[in-house]
Amino acid sequence: MGTVYLGRSPAGVLLAVKVIRADHAADPAFRARFRREAQAAAGLSGRWVVPVVAADPEAREPWLATPFVPGPSLSEAVGGYGPLPAGSVRTLGVRLAEALQQVHAAGLVHRDVKPGNILLAPDGPRLIDFGIARAVGATTLTAADAVVGTPGDLPPEQARAGARSPGPAGDVFSLGCVLVFAATGRGPFGGGHAAAVVFRTVHDEPVLDGLPAELREAVGACLAKDPAGRPLPQRLREVLGGGEPADGDGGDGGGDWLPPPLPRLIAERSTRALELPAPEPTRLDAPRTPPGAPGPGGGRLTRRRLLAVGGAVAAAAVPPAWLASRDRVRGGAGGPRGTAAGPVFTVALQADLSGPGRAEGQAHERGLRLAAEQHNARGGVPFRLAVRAADDGGDPARAAQVIAQLVADPSVVAVVGPTAQAAVPALAEACLAADLLLLPVSVHSGAAAQSHWRTVCDTRGKPEEISLPVLHYLSRVRPVSHTAVVEQEGAAETDRELTRMLRHTPPSQGTVSVHRIPAAAGGADLASVVDGILRAGAQAAVFAGTSAAVAGRFARALDGAGFAGPRMATGRVMAPTFLEAAGGAAEDWLFGAFFTEPSAVPAAAGFTAAHRAAYGEPPARWAAEAHDALGLAAAALAALGEEGRDRPGLSRRVFRTSYEGLAKPLAFDATTRTLAGLRVAHLYRVRSGAFAYLGPYADVTAAT
């Protein structure tokens, strides 16, 4: 909805200044909600809530200021350092229950208690962001059929569109979800598509696997479906033990309540904040100048200068990491390099260029370099682009070191990558802290991106959208009434997304049976799986596993049993290993994938020719998608004014930018900031022992 800046009052007090984007401020209903947030939070007091100390809801760009808390959010801490120990979780629950007591005593319901709205300070947690809080009994300012809150953390009564507004018990349910996440690293109702998470919240029991036994009773009570069955915050504090330490693990709000890495992180951030350079002096003739309003002489106060807020708060309107490098940027050597054709902005690639995934990393690099050359060759461009490649070798630990180097280079305005899924959290957190745009191409950042990592712009389809090619083919091209889905035991949560989607939305509105291959499957095990598929009367088989070798052996077993229906899998197993393991049984297998085949796309003919000329071979998988990622970044930079072509400007503008890529159109939903449109996935078929491109899945017909 806006940007939070680190500010400093005239007395030297550090503050967080939340400035709302002008397009939101133009909406009277949104401005009313913001006014309500400021009023609600200003009336709060208590150690574990962060109050509003100054605000101007009527400014052209409304703003509010709160005390600055240097600690990470709970989502950042768990994502970067893993779940908290039981004692820390217990202390977290006690302090947040106390915070909710204070909120509810003031006649308010928070309605968005989630990991991203909880900051971890040395003495205890802080509850922030009352953006959708409302007074109990107040008239709602949201649409009648809207669901307000964050899927995965909202209570079932709040999850139903058009339901009565939730009461204080809804905040207790959300707190239960938060405690499960803090202790296990995942929510009690799983991940995936928001609609699926909401469905499980309303209808399924919470999954508490991995939750310490000492927390199960209290957390389980919080997650009762019936609001009347949940404890009041005061009772919850008592059940959790009032915050007293248990066996030295955690604490009662003292400095040792967090595990070792987090106090060090908080100390480092505090030091960086205190070392910020003093803002440039700016004289204001008017007693009250809203952010962005004209300054003396008609000049605008930009985000690189001082923002004067109501005469009370002075905000250096750039993120801390960017502020720290301000002097280097101005010197020219570290910032965008000037040329006769204008400044040069760097798009960095972080990928595996020397390890097991080097082929994919090389495809990324080649696509980016060709896109930069294409951009720079155009006449009249206001800026030029450079590509900086950084090799992490496919090692998550090394990836964290590499991204630190890229963040420290102020000429880098965007990062493409990584190519290893395990490297995503470290990169996402580092880019978030630096307000640096991260563009994953071949991996997906996960559900956390939309709720926590606001600078991550996924250019690949969401994991659940891999079901779209399967649904299209088995509903429109070769309709079937019963589909067998085959999983591998021990698959990761994200690897089971295809199964979940097909069970919730069966092809042709028919039925789905799920069959599992043991983790160490041999020929006999596969034969029993195939026998189960035949006995179930399946007309189509979908392999939802991730092992190309197992998929190939499964194809042989199906073929040997005479199965003649459609056989499908995903791009995860679309590899030479599958063809070798399946032999002749691979023929006519279909694969849904997020990558295109540039040499088969007329619009990519120029790119394919340039790739052949530069590298002596056609572009590999993901090369076109990487090319499109840089094109999107260039389009977003071009849409910004010269003053706004920096990291903060680009990381926000990209979500309001549309770009017609070679692989697919790139445009984003204004609310969720996720990739919009249906042309996100493609279909391939094995023909004569090779993977043949059929086209975007929606274009495939029986005649294709």
Residues carrying an active site annotation: 112
Is the C-alpha dihedral spanning 170, 233, 453, 24 positive or negative? positive
Residue whose tokens read 């963040």: 407
Q: Please name which of 91, 238, 114 lies closest in space to residue 170, comparing C-alpha atoms.
A: 114
List of E strands, 247-323 = 306-309, 313-316
In the three-class reduction of DSSP (H, G, I as helix; E, B as strand; rest coil), residue 247 is classed as coil
Question: Cα–Cα distance between 612 and 361 in angstroms, integer?
Answer: 18
Q: Which tokens hold the place of 62? A: 């409304």
| DSSP, residue by residue, 438-489 | EE-SSS---THHHHT-TTB---SPPGGGGHHHHHHIIIIIS--SEEEEEEET
List of E strands, 455-611 = 482-488, 511-517, 540-543, 567-570, 590-593
Question: Cα–Cα distance between 297 and 148 in angstroms, integer?
Answer: 44
Q: Please name which of 95, 92, 97, 111 lies closest in space to residue 40, comparing C-alpha atoms.
A: 111
**DSSP designation for 286:** S
- Side-chain half-sphere CA neighbours of 652 within 13 A: 15
Distance from the first to the final alpha carbon of the chain = 44
List of E strands, 133-244 = 134-135
In our burial notation (b when 16+ CB lie closer than 10 A, e otherwise), range 287-312 reads eebbbbbebeeeeebebbbbbbbeeb
Q: Does an H or E element contain 80, and which?
A: helix 74-81
In our burial notation (b when 16+ CB lie closer than 10 A, e otherwise), range 341-370 reads eebbbbbbbbbbbebebbebbbbbbbbbbb
Spell out the residues 6+ positions from residue 45 whose beta carbon is closer than 8 angstroms to its own: 51, 102
Question: Cα–Cα distance between 435 and 407 in angstroms, integer?
Answer: 9
The three-point CA angle 451-347-672 to 5° equals 20
Report yes or no: 448 and 79 within 8 Å, Cβ to Cβ: yes
| DSSP, residue by residue, 368-420 | HHHHHHHHHHSTT-SSEEEEEEEE-TT-HHHHHHHHHHHHH-TTEEEEE--SS
